[in-house]
Amino acid sequence: MNLPFVIWILQSFIVRVPIQLEEAARMDGANPFQAFFMVVLPLIKPGLAAAAIFTFCVAGNEFLLGNALADRNSRTVPVTKVNSLTEYDIDWGAIMATGMLLAIPPVIFTFVASRQIITGMTVGAVKG
């Protein structure tokens, strides 16, 4: 479901890679796959990090798909949060615990990929 947005993000990073780098790799004897994996892929790492964080956050918060496909024993965190609300009671402990559970993985992933994210944000900022 997130694929169109991820393609749109990555397309802008791939377009910025000079074609001369790929041509130089081809002249050095690399096939198209080697040129992509050894030249283009390292240059678009910031875009991959940004797309991965976006996809991770949005896929983790997908309520409708999780509600439709999950059974009672295997629920996603957003479905568990909504099921903590009843007509007569609100289980605040379960809501807060699942909220923390939902917030921790993106924060950890962002700290791990922070260098790539910062590089990705500053790629087009100032040229000179």
Secondary structure (DSSP) of 3-53? HHHHHHHHHHHHHTS-HHHHHHHHHTT--HHHHIIIIIHHHTHHHHHHHHH
Domain residue spans of the chain: 3-122
Q: Report the chain's mean pLDDT, rounded to a whole number.
A: 79
Q: Which residue has the tokens 């997908």?
A: 62
pLDDT tens-digit map of 57-111? 777 667 777 777 777 777 777 777 777 777 888 888 878 887 888 788 878 877 8
For domain 3-122, the CATH superfamily is MetI-like (1.10.3720.10)
pLDDT tens-digit map of 9-18? 888 888 888 8
**Banded pLDDT at 126 (limits 50, 70, 90):** very low
